[in-house]
Amino acid sequence: MPLTLHDISVWDTGERIDLVIPSVDAARAFGTGVPFGASEDRRSLDGRGGTPDVHVEASGLTLAPGLTDPHVHFRDPGQTAKETMATGSRSAAAAGFTRVLVMPNTVPAADGGAVDDSTPGGRQVLESGRRSVLDYLAHYEDDHGALPVRYDLCVAATVGRAGGRASDPDLWGERLPGHAEAGRHPVRAISDDGSAVPDAVLGDVLRNAGRAGIPVVDHCEHHDSGVMGQGPTSRRLGVEGIDSATETRIVRRDVEAARRSGVHVHLQHLSCAASVDLVRRAKRDGVPVTCETAPHYLALCDEDVARYGALARMNPPLRSARDRQAVIAGVADGTIDMLATDHAPHTAEEKSRGLSAAPNGVIGLETAYGVCRRVLVEGGYIDDRRLIELMSLAPNRLLGHASTDVAALLATGARCATHRVLDLAHVENPEDVDLVVLDTHAVWTVDPETFASKARNTPFAGWSLTGRPLATIIGSRLVFSRLDAAPRR
């Protein structure tokens, strides 16, 4: 049955339209989470049988292109106690994301090389009938069933992510966009995320990326020890601090490498004022560099580690309150191109080891929109339209995709008595239409126990946020919905 959302606002024009989503069954349309891939239930809402249309009064809701996250860790293969491709994808769909970029720090690393059975992840790959981690990920849906998110792959920059020598393009070149072997999940970037590309092999990695036509996505941080940002809080807590120079040295090096080579370098999770200044100057000079930051660097600073403990331990670490404000300013003035979660799941046992022993990283998908909106929009730094540009248009450009243009779809749509109708069953190339329905007024409290992710390691538990994705549409299909929770306006 079709689901019609009446009087919903288009994100960039404000036009009120009716949105018709085809082939939605009643149980899935109004569940707290749509079970993607479930069989269609053709019973009517009133029990009389048949497939009546479902109508939702959606005034006050917003229709926008689906969100894209260029930085997620789904831990599959090799660390599936933390997350899997299936649970990570459901978490993304529940958060309004229609596309993600999967990082290569799996176990074994996604470097294109053949695996053996010496690790649980290697055995996992071989048991699926695949020879490498890239094969396993590229064919995951063929082997395990469809997922409720589109995903691209990031190949490891060095063999095994060990930093010794650059990965071999002969082992992953056929997975680049446009090649027959690329399929639905091509390699769109190269990175040793979790570690910066070492100085000794950076030139080789840049050459590989330049020839492949993909960006180098670099982890801007290198240090051998330390727990949190260096400052009064680290000294008060009696733990080793990490100086911001461990980030800015990599940023400065990468900017100069991009300047010399002309290869696009994308800098991950900027966290300090000096990094933002370096990128701002590089962009004025026309250097081919882009960058991102993450919600936790916008919302928290090193002082919050005293409150949240290991749940606020991450890499790069949280910096000073001054650095936090500089990062926000970098978003506001356009220096920082996009927002990425760096979704990094860990088990409860790992994070319970205490600040000094716990692993780095926090999850971020299911809180991303609300946290970013609270800091940036409610804080008066940007508006809702700019937030969509940061979370959809810019990351899609990085990955070589175009966000769904709602206005263009409407240009050929029908019109009812009062406004235009966007019927996804009658658009050109419906398989390419990815959208999110947002309630920018929804007030909700973060409860990690309700997350679709396997992991719970977030510092935002208990936070009250305003603004939440209510429905996620991929290829004109509803893949997640919490529309039953939307107030009827």
Question: Helix, strand, or coil here: 472?
Answer: strand
The string of DSSP letters for 99-168 reads EEEE-S--SS--SSPBP-TTSHHHHHHHHTT-SBHHHHHHTHHHHH---SSEEEEEEESBGGG-SSSB--
Torsional sign, CA 440, 446, 448, 450: negative
Tokens linked to 486: 């939307």
Which pair of structure tokens corresponds to residue 103? Answer: 């990082």
Q: Which two tokens stand for residue 354?
A: 């205490």
Those residues whose C-beta lies under 8 Å from the C-beta of residue 288, and which sit 6 or more positions away, are: 258, 262, 263, 264, 265
Q: Cβ distance 110 to 155 under 8 Å?
A: yes
Marked catalytic residue, from 342, 423, 434, 439: 342
Interatomic CA distance for residues 76 and 132, integer angstroms: 12
Tell me the three-class secondary structure of 9-50, residue by residue: EECCCCCEEEEEECCCCHHHHCCCCCCCCCCCCCCCCCCCCC
> Within 13 A of 372's CA, how many CA atoms are on the CB side?
31
Annotation marks residue 342 as catalytic: yes
**Are 5 and 56 contacting, i.e. CB atoms less than 8 angstroms apart?**
yes
Q: Are 193 and 105 in contact (CB under 8 A)?
A: yes
d(CA 96, CA 111): 29
DSSP annotation of 381 reads S
The H or E element containing residue 474 is strand 464-474
Tokens at 64, concatenated: 């926008």
Report helix, strand or coil for 191.
strand
Catalytic residues: 342
